[in-house]
Amino acid sequence: MHEHVESVITQHQVIKEKGCITCHDPHASDFNHQLKQDTLNLCLECHESIGEIVKNALVSHGAVAEDNKCANCHSPHGSDMPDMLLDEEMTLCLDCHDKPMDTPRGRIIDMKTWIENNPERHGPIREGNCTLCHQPHGSDHFRILAYEFPHKFYSPFSVEAYALCFQCHEDTLVLDEQTTALTDFRNGQKNLHYVHVNQKRGRTCRACHEIHAGTKPKRMKDFVPFGIWNYPIGFEIAPNGGKCAPGCHVPRAYDRTQAVIQQ
């Protein structure tokens, strides 16, 4: 154990500073590994801010509450990963999210297979950085998202409602009616993200885009579920624009260099 702790890249400082008996009872205990307490309570004694998140979260993460709790993801003695994770972040997440899961708030898909089968990946997925969007200890937002994001098809637009996306994307992507810089989704200078999203009944990002990974450019969906129907989107990209033939409206094309006049 000493050799392991010395050799890892990220060491649990409490071992060096306070020793093994901080967490373990050397004589006997009612808990696995002779821990002094249940894993979760033991860790949260020191990691108070995490404890606040875990205890107050409206949406909890099963990995925190079940089985080995904190040790499902973290190595308590030390590891070669940042934050003493057991493995690279996305590899760790997909170790569990490699099968569909039914939750009280709906089904979570087999994310591992989904990502493997869909080569057009969102930036955080390419970086293996799930926690850019998800709060693994628990959150107040659906799917343990770290910030606000609309979970319905339609949503009145506000910058606050899309706080998750605007962590990275410019809010002017949706705020500016006219642009040449912010997006390729424009007809001349007319910003089509503004047209679609910045409404009282705005279409949320998920109406058209796959959030994690897709097969089409810009991760455009093949179809969008709407009630009991699946509306095809029929997106085609072109050198200076593209076109959509969704179930929502008549087929429309857009061109950045020469605005298409819609009939």
In the complex, which residues of this chain contact other proteins (CB under 8 A)?
A: 9, 79-83, 88-89, 120-121, 123-124, 126-129, 131-132, 167-170, 172, 180-182, 184
Q: How far is CA 98 from CA 106, 110, 170, in A?
A: 16, 5, 32
CA distance 185 to 197: 12
To other proteins, the closest distance from the beta carbon of 235 in angstroms equals: 17
To other proteins, the closest distance from the beta carbon of 98 in angstroms equals: 12
Task: Mark residue 143 as left, alpha or beta (left: phi above 0; alpha: psi -120 to 50; beta: remaining).
Answer: left
Q: Which is nearer to other proteins, 89 or 246 (CB)?
A: 89
Q: Which is nearer to other proteins, 150 or 214 (CB)?
A: 214
To other proteins, the closest distance from the beta carbon of 125 in angstroms equals: 10
> How many other C-beta atoms lie within 10 A of the C-beta of residue 52?
13
Q: Which is nearer to other proteins, 67 or 88 (CB)?
A: 88
> What token pair was written down for 71?
């040790």
Q: Which is nearer to other proteins, 60 or 68 (CB)?
A: 68
Q: How far is CA 167 from CA 89, 124, 149, 158, in A?
A: 20, 12, 11, 14
Measuring CA to CA, which residue among 33, 131, 136, 12 is closest to residue 77? 12
Phi/psi at 11 (nearest 5 deg)?
-100, 150
Q: Which is nearer to other proteins, 75 or 155 (CB)?
A: 75
Phi/psi at 143 (nearest 5 deg)?
60, 30
To other proteins, the closest distance from the beta carbon of 8 in angstroms equals: 9
To other proteins, the closest distance from the beta carbon of 206 in angstroms equals: 18
